[in-house]
Structure 1
Amino acid sequence: MSVMKRFWIALILSTPMLANMILMPFGVMMPGGKWLQFGLTTIIMVVAAGPFLQSAWASFKKHHANMDTLVAIGTITAYIYSIYAMVIHEAVFFESAALVITFVLLGQVFEERMRSSASNAVEKLVDLQAKDAEVIRDGETILIPLSEVIVGDVISVRPGQKVAVDGVIIEGVSTIDESMVTGESMPVMKKVGDKVIGSTINSNGAFTFRAEKIGDDTLLAQIVELVKKAQTSHAPIQKLTDKVSDIFVPVVLIVSIMTFLFWYVVLGATVSNALIFAVSVLVIACPCALGLATPTALMVGTGLSAKMGILIKNGEVLEAANDLQTVVFDKTGTITVGKPVVTDIIGDPQDVLSMAASLEESSEHPLASAIMVRASENKIIPPKITEFRAIEGKGVEAMFDGKRVFVGNDKLLGDYQIGAEMAVKVQQLQDEAKTVVFVGRGDEVVGLMAIQDEPKATSKAAISALKARGLKTIMLTGDNERVAQSIANQVGIDEVVADVLPGDKAAHIRELQKTSKVAFVGDGINDAPALTTADVGISMGSGTDIAIESGGIILVKNDLRDVNRALILSHKIVNRIKLNLFWAFVYNVLGIPVAAGLFYGIGLVLSPELAGLAMAFSSLSVVTSSVLLNKVKISQQTRIV
C-alpha cells in the first residue's frame, strides 16, 4: 500500500480522536468512548503503521536500530499501555499512538512529493521525445514510429518538427532549439556535417540527416539514465548520517527509559504521565529529517544541474568536486576548438601534401584530418604506400616509390636530418603557436606543414573564473612546449606540461594528487585513463563515448565555462546537505529535553502527538530547504544570483 493511502487512512481514522482531544475540555465526549478509540487505533496500527513495525523488527533481528525503531516502540508502548489502562479503567492515550503514526506518515508524504517533483524534470525530458520520424527509403518519404528507425536511416525534418534521433546533417541548413537537452536558450545554427540531437526542435529550415544513435544510445536517453542514477546514489557524507543514526537510536532508547524511571521512580509521577514523557522522547527524537537531509538535496541538485546541461553522475563525484585545488586540462578539443587547419607549407606544396596525405589517410587524429582537408582542397589523390608502420609518440612511416617516407613531430628529428634554413622556419612557426608536422623522404626532412588550432572563444573566461576561485590551472598535452605555452598564455593557464605521451597522462595526474585534489577536463579516447584517475573527471559533451563514460561530470554544451558552474553547483549542493544535517540534528538535540519534561516547571511540555507533528514539520523544513536549490541561478559570468 502506498504511503499516500496509508496517510489518508490514518488521518481519517484519527480525526475523531483529535476532535475529542480538542472538545474534551468543553465537556464534549466522542460517542463510543474508549472502545471506539481502541478500534480506530487498532486499524491504524495494523494498516498504516504495519510497515514501520515490520522495518523495526527486521532491523532488530540484524542487531540494528533505525528511524522506524523509535516510531514502532513509541506507538506500540502507547497502544499497549492504553489497552491495559482501558481494562483497569484509567485514562488512555490511544490518540497519541494514532496521531503519531498520522504525523510520521505526513512527513513521508512530504518526502514522496519532493521526490516526485525532483524526478519530474527527467520525466518531462522523456515526454519530449519524438513519437515518429519521416524516413526516406527507396526514394520515398514515409512516416514511421520512432521504434522502427534504424541506424543509417536518412530522416527528413521540416520547420517546427522534432529531430527524431541523434545523427549528422547530410543536406540543408537550419537553426535548432536544443534547450531541453543542453540548457542553452539560444537556437544553434546547423549545417552539413554538424551533429543533431534527438528530441530537439527544428526552427526555420529544412534538412535531412543520417541516424547514428537510436533508442537507449541517444544523448537524451543517456542523460535520463545518468540523472536517475545520480538521484538514487549516495554521497560519502551519507555514511556519516548512517553512523550517527546507528548510535543515536540506541542512545534515544536509553534516554527514553531513563525519562520514564526518573518521572515514575524519582518524582513519583503516575505510570501514564511518566509514559507520556518517555514516548514523547522516542517520537521527537526520530531522526527522519536527518535521513532526508542528504538524498533530498542530492535529488534536487542533480536535477537542477541536468537542466543547465551539466550531468553529475553521483553523489561521490559531487562531494569530491567541492574540495578541489587543481584543475588540469587537455588542450585539443577542450581548451581549443579541436579543428586545426593547415596554415603554412614549407617545401614543394604538391610533393609535401602528397606524401603527408598518403600516410595520414587512415588516421583519425585531428592533425591528420587537417592535412586531408588541405589535400582535398588542392585536389591531391593520395598515392599508394606499402610497409606502413606507426612510431608511438613520434609519427608514421612507409615505403613509397622505393624510398622510406615519414610524417611526424619533432621527436623524429633524432632519427632524421633537417637543413639549417628549414630549422629556422620550424622555430618561427612554433613561436607563432603553430604545430609543425615534419615530412621527409629517405633520411632527410623535405618539408614542413604548420597546423594551428585556435582557443575556444570561452576558454579565457573559463580559466579566469577558476583562478578567481583560487584553483591552480594546468594544461597537460602531447603537443610541443612552444605551442602549448603559446595557447596557455592566450587563455591564462598557470602551468604547462607538454610533450606528454597518451599513456603517460594518468601518471602525471597521480603525481599531482600527491599534493592536491585534482580534476581533469578532457574529451578524447586518450583522455579516458586520466579522467578515471583524477579525483573528478570532467568530460566535454562533444567528446568520444569512452571519454564521456570515464568522466564523473559531463558538460553537455561543450562550454568550458561550465567547469566553473559545475563546481559552483557542487559547492551549493554540498553546503545545502550540511545545512540540512545541521538543522535536523539540532532539532533532535533541542527537542529531546523538552519532550523529557525538563521544562515542565515553566509549563513547557510536549505530548507524543505534538512531538509527532513537530517531527513531521522538521522533515518538511529539510525538504523545503532542498527544494529551494531550484532557485539558484548561475549566470554566464558565473555569479550566483
Structure 2
Amino acid sequence: MDMAETAAAVVDRQADERVRLVVTGMTCGSCSARVERALNRVDGVTATVNFATGIATVDAPRAVGPERLCGVVEDAGYEAAVQSGTAALDTGPEDRAAAALFRRLVVALVLFFPLADLSVMFATVPATRIPGWQAILLALALPIVVWSAAPLHRRALTGLRTGAMSMETLVSIGITAATAWSIVTLFARPAPVRGHGVWAAIMSADSIYLEVAGGVTVFVLAGRYFEAKAKRRAGGALRALAALGVRDVTVLTGDGREIAIPADELTVGRRFVVRPGARIATDGVVAQGFSSIDTAAMTGEATPVEAGPGAPVCGGTVSLTGRLVVTATAVGADTRLAGMIRLVEQAQEGKAGLQRLADRIAGVFVPAVLALAVLTAGGWLLAGGGTDRAFGAALAVLVIACPCALGLATPTALMVASGRGAQLGIFVKGQQALETSRTIDTVVFDKTGTVTLGEMTVSAVHTDLDRDEIVRLAGGLESASEHAVAAAVTAHARARHRELPPVTDFAALPGLGARGRVEDREVLIGSPALLDARRIAAPPGLRAALESEQRLGHTAVYLCLDDRAVAVLAVSDTVHPTAADAITRLHRLGLRTLLLTGDNTAAARAVAAEVGIDDVVAEVLPAGKVEVIRELQARGRRVAMVGDGINDGPALATADLGLAIGRGADVAIGAADIILVRDDLAAVPDAIGLAHATLRTIRGNMVWAFGYNVAALPIAVAGLLNPLLAGAAMAFSSFFVVWNSLRLREFRP
C-alpha cells in the first residue's frame, strides 16, 4: 500500500465513529429487530441491537450525528440516548423500571385472586349471581386491565402509530378483546355455563373472560419483572468489574506532600500513594515500597503476587501488606481495567448465528400470529363451534405466541457467560468466538512465553571444582553482558551470593560468548566454537555433559579459567508450571495439541515431551507459522492458536480461534479472539469449557423457545388451551430462558 492509499484508509476510518445508544421500550426480539432495521436503513450505518442489554452499537459516518440516530430510534417507536460512561454502572433506569413494574404487579395480583374466584363462581354456578355481580367483577377487573396493563397498551398504541407490531401488540389486543367481550357478555346476554367437574367447568367458562384479561396482565407483568431482576443479576459480574475503579487518589507533590484528588484528574507520570488494604488507582510502576498485590478480581488468580520497585501494577488490584508509591503509566480509557470492561461490553454487541435466526423469526412472528388468530376464529365459526369457542381459541393463540423467549434465548446467556468469563480472567472479544470454539479439534501452542515462561534459567552446572565458586566467577563475568544466557547466569549467581566480584577487560564475542578478568583470573564463557577458536580442549566428561544437555534441548556453554575448561553451564527456558495439567485437560476434551516454535527441534521436542503435547513443528519463522496453520486447515482441522508474542499476531489472526496470553504483546492481543488475563495456561481449557457450556445453554434456550411455540400454537388453535393457562405458560417460558442462562454464573472450570 502506497502513501496515498494509506492516507485514504486513515480518512475512511476517521469518517466513521462508533456510537452506543441505550434503547428503552424494547420488550421482545421483534422490537430489537425493528430498531436494527430502522438504523441500518440510514446510509452508511451499520447497527447491531442487543435486546438483553438494551444497547444499540452503531458504526456511522461522522455526518450522521448521535441526535439523528436517536431520532431514527424514536421514529421506530422507542426511546434512545447516547450511552455515557460505563453502562455496567448505570443501573438507575433498570431499578426504576423494575420498581414501577413491581407496583403495577402488586395491584394486579391483589385484585386478581378475588376476580378469578368470583368469575369462575358466577360463570359456573348461576345461583350465586347476586344483584350487581357484574359491577363487582368490573370493579375488580378494570384497575388491572387499565392501570396495571397501561404500559402494555401504550407500547401497543405506539407500535400501531409507527406501523410496528411487537409482543405488546398481541398482549394488548388480547386483554382489550377479552375485556370488551366480557362486558358485552355480562350486560347483553348472560348465560349459565354447562360442564361436569371443575376442569370441564373452567375449560367451558368462555363466556366471561375478565379473569383471563386480569390473569394475562398479572402473568405478563410478573414475567417482565422477574426478567428485569434476572437481567440485572446477569450483568452483575460486569458491574463488579467496573466497580473496581476508585474515585479518589492520594498523589505526591514536588515537595513530598500528600494531597487527595479525584482519580479522573490523575495524569501519566504522576506519583500516587497506595496504602495497605487500598485499591490501586491506575496502571503504573512501583517507585518505592514493597507489598503483596491481590489480583484476584482482575485475573482470577487467588495467590497474591509480590511487587517492589520497578514492578508493574494494575489499576483495580489491592495492595495487601505494604505502602507503595506508584508512578502512573496509563490513565482513564487506556488502563487495563478499562480495556477489560470494553472487551466484555463488545462481547455482548455482536450476534451469534442462532440469535440472528431468532431475530429474523421474531421480526415476522407477530403479524403471522395475528393472521393465525383471525384464521383460527374464522375456522371455528365455519366449523359451527360458536362465537365463544372461536373467540377463546383466537385469544389463546394471541397470548401463547408472544416471542419473548426467542429474544432472550441467546443474548441473556452470552451476557452471563461474558461476565463469568471476566471473573475467571477470560475475555471474549465477540460472540463468533463462542460459536467457533464448538468446532475446534486442534490447539496449537507457541513455545516461548506461552508453554514456557520465556525466562532463561540455569538448569545445571557440571564441574569437578567448587560449584559455588564456579557460579560466583561466572556471574561476575556475565554481569557485564546483556545476552539472555548471561542474564540467566547472573541471576543464578546473585541468588546464591550477596555480592558478585567485579569484571575488568570485559569483551563480548558475538556468536561465541564473552571473556574478562575476574579476581585476577582469565574467565571465558562460550560455545564449543569459542573453545576451538582459542584451541582449548575440553575434558571428555565435560564434552559428554554438554552433548547430554543439548539433546535435552538446553543451551549449554563451557566455562574456562585461565584457558582451561572446568565447567559446563546449562541454561533452559522454564516450562510453565500449569502447562502439563492444561494439556491433559485439553486431551480429555478430545482435542489434539501441537507445539509450533522457531526454536531448534531438540528444545521443542524436550518441552513437548515434558508437558505432553502430541506433535511438534520447530524452526519456523512467523510466516511459516501461518503456513502451518493453513496446512492444518486445508486438511480439515479447525485450529485454535495460543500465543503471546509479536510474531504470533499473524498466526492468531489466521487460526479459526485465537487465544492470546494477556501479558503478551499488544499485536498478539489485538489479533486474538479470546484474551487470557491469568498467567496460567489452565485458562485455555477453562475458556473452551466456558464456551462449550455457553453454547449448550443457548441451544437449550432455543430448543425451549422454538419448541414451546411450535407445540403450544396447534393446541391453542384446536381450542384445547384456556387463555388463562396460555398467559401463564408464556410468562413461564421467558422466565425459564433467563433462569437457565443464569446457571452459567455457577460455571466451574
TM over 0.5: yes
Is the Cα contact below 8 Å between 1:281 and 1:596 reproduced in 2?
A: yes
* Residues 1:560 and 2:675 are matched in the alignment: no
Residue 737 (structure 2) pairs with residue 622 (structure 1)? yes
Aligned partner of residue 691 in structure 2, secondary structure: helix
Q: Conserved in 1, the CA contact under 8 Å of 2:416 and 2:742?
A: yes
Match of 2:441 among 308, 325, 338: 325
SS in 2 for 1:513: helix
Is the 1:9–1:48 contact (alpha carbons within 8 Å) kept by the matching residues of 2? Answer: no
Shift of 1:542: 1.4
Residues 178-197 of structure 1 aligned to structure 2 (within 5 Å): 178-197=295-314
Contact 2:134 2:187 in 1 (8 A): no
Map Cα deviations across residues 500-542 of structure 1 (whole Å, 9 max, x no partner).
Answer: 2123333322222222111111111222222222221111121
Structure 1 pair 354/583, CA: closer, same or farther in 2 (3 Å)?
A: closer
Q: Which amino acid aligns with 1:54?
A: T
Aligned to 2:52: none
Pair 1:150 & 2:250 matched? no
**Following the alignment from structure 1 to structure 2, what is the Cα–Cα distance between the partners of residues 174 and 352?**
33
Which stretch of structure 1 is more off in the superposition, 121-130 or 300-309? 121-130
Question: Unaligned stretches of 5+ in structure 2?
Answer: 1-24, 26-95, 123-127, 191-206, 463-472, 495-499, 513-526, 559-567
Q: State the distance in 2 between where 1:581 and 1:379 align.
A: 71
Q: Does 1:458 align with 2:573?
A: no
Alignment counterpart, residue 297 of structure 1, candidates 410, 413, 425: 413
Match of 1:539 among 623, 646, 660: 660
CA displacement at 1:53 relative to structure 2: 4.4
Q: Structure 2 vs 1, CA of residues 589 and 437 (structure 1 numbering), >3 Å: closer, same or farther? A: farther
Query: 1:163-202, aligned counterparts within 5 Å?
Result: 163-202=280-319
Contact 2:111 2:140 in 1 (8 A): no
Give the aligned residue type for 2:231.
R
* Contact 1:56–1:66 (8 Å) recurs in 2: no
Matches of 2:492 and 2:255, distance apart in 1: 34
Match of 1:138 in 2: 254
Alpha-carbon distance in 1 for matches of 2:422, 2:406: 26
Is this contact kept in 2: 1:356–1:371, CA < 8 A? no
1:265 aligns with 2:382: yes
CA deviations over 1:616-640 (Å, ceiling 9, x no partner) = 1121122111112223322xxxxxx
Match of 1:470 in 2: 590
- 1:509 and 1:53 map into 2 onto residues whose CA distance is 56
The Cα offsets for residues 16-64 of structure 1, whole Å up to 9 and x where unpaired, read as 466334213253636476599568645566543222443476565xxxx
Q: 1: CA distance between counterparts of 2:535 and 2:633?
A: 43
> Does residue 517 of structure 1 match 2:517?
no
For residue 204 of structure 1, report the CA deviation from its aligned partner. Answer: 1.9
- Residue 610 of structure 1 corresponds to which residue in structure 2? 725
Matches within 5 A, 1:434-449: 434-435=554-555
Match of 2:320 among 203, 210, 213: 203
Alpha-carbon distance change, 126 to 616 in structure 1, aligned in 2, over 3 angstroms: same
Q: Paired residue for 1:530?
A: 651
Show the counterpart of 1:571. Answer: 692
1:122 corresponding residue in structure 2: 238
Structure 1 residues 98 and 176: alpha-carbon distance in aligned structure 2, compared to 1, 3 A threshold: same
Tell which has more relative contact order, 1 or 2 (C-alpha 8 A, sep 6+).
Answer: 1
Cα distance in 1 for residues equivalent to 2:460 and 2:744: 52
Distance change >3 Å, CA 593–CA 156, structure 1 → 2: same
| Aligned counterpart for 1:550 among listed residues 666, 671, 677 | 671
Matched, 1:310 2:405: no
Change (3 A) 1:219 1:618: same
Task: Give me the whole-angstrom Cα distance separating, in 1, the residues matched to 2:507 and 2:332.
Answer: 41
Contact preservation (8 Å) 2:107, 2:148: no
Alignment of 1:36-185 (within 5 A): 41-42=145-146, 47-55=151-159, 58=162, 60=164, 67-68=167-168, 70-71=170-171, 73-75=173-175, 77-78=177-178, 93=209, 96-97=212-213, 99-145=215-261, 146-185=263-302
Aligned residues: 580
Distance in 1 separating the partners of 2:505 and 2:184: 97
Change (3 A) 1:315 1:187: same
Q: What is the identity percentage for the equivalent residue pairs of Structure 1 and Structure 2?
A: 36
Q: 1:345 to 1:610 in 2, by over 3 A?
A: closer
| Aligned-residue offset at 1:123 | 1.9
- How far apart in 2 are the matches of 1:593 and 1:419? 94
Tell whether the 8 Å contact from 1:121 to 1:303 is kept in structure 2 after alignment.
yes
| SS of residue in 1 equivalent to 2:155 | helix
1:12 aligned partner:
107
Tell whether the 8 Å contact from 2:476 to 2:502 is kept in structure 1 after alignment.
Answer: no
Following superposition, the deviation at residue 561 of structure 1 comes to: 0.8
2:129 corresponds to which letter in structure 1? G
Contact 1:16-1:30 at 8 Å conserved across structures: no
The 1:139/1:587 distance shift into structure 2, 3 A limit, reads: same
1:264-316 CA distance string (max 9 Å, x none): 1103312x431121121121122212221111211112211211222222322
Q: Which SS does the other structure have where 1:337 is aligned?
A: strand
CA contact (8 A) 1:521 1:537 kept: yes
Shift of 1:78: 4.1
Partner SS for 1:454? strand
Aligned residue for 1:554, secondary structure, equals strand
Are residue 587 (structure 1) and residue 708 (structure 2) matched? Answer: yes
Q: Which residue of 2 aligns with 1:245?
A: 362
TM-score normalised according to structure 1 size: 0.78
After superposition, residues 206-221 of structure 1 pair within 5 angstroms as: 206-221=323-338
Given that 2:476 and 2:503 are in contact with CA atoms closer than 8 Å, whether structure 1 keeps it comes out as no
Task: Name the CA distance, whole Å, in 2 between partners of 1:47 and 1:70.
Answer: 13
CA distance in 2, matches of 1:544, 1:200: 21
Q: Deviations over 1:206-233 (max 9, x none)?
A: 3333322222222222222222232344
Kindly indicate whether residue 456 of structure 2 is the aligned counterpart of residue 340 of structure 1.
yes
Cα distance in 2 between the residues matched to 1:166 and 1:94: 62
Residues 45 and 187 (structure 1), Cα distance of their counterparts in 2 relative to 1, 3 Å cut? closer
- Give, in whole Å, the separation in 2 of the partners of 1:165 and 1:541: 17
Q: Contact between 1:10 and 1:102, CA under 8 Å: does it hold in 2?
A: yes
What letter is aligned with 2:153? A
Name the CA distance, whole Å, in 1 between partners of 2:345 and 2:534: 57
8 Å contact from structure 1 (residues 6, 47) kept in 2: no
Corresponding letter in the other structure for 1:626: S
Taking the aligned partners of 1:627 and 1:479, their CA distance within structure 2 comes to 45
Match of 1:487 among 601, 604, 607: 607
Alignment-mate amino acid for residue 51 of structure 1: R
CA distance in 2, matches of 1:96, 1:437: 87
Are 2:476 and 2:501, in contact at CA under 8 Å, matched by a contact in 1?
no
Indicate if the aligned counterparts of 1:132 and 1:143 stay in contact, CA closer than 8 A.
no
- Would you say 1:504 and 2:624 are equivalent positions? yes
Q: Cα distance 1:256–1:344, how it changes in 2: closer, same or farther (>3 A)?
A: same
Q: Say whether residues 1:632 and 2:736 are aligned partners.
A: no
- CA shift for structure 1 position 202: 1.7
Structure 1 residues 547 and 436, CA, compared in 2 at 3 Å: closer, same or farther?
farther
Q: Which amino acid in structure 1 is aligned with residue 335 of structure 2?
A: T
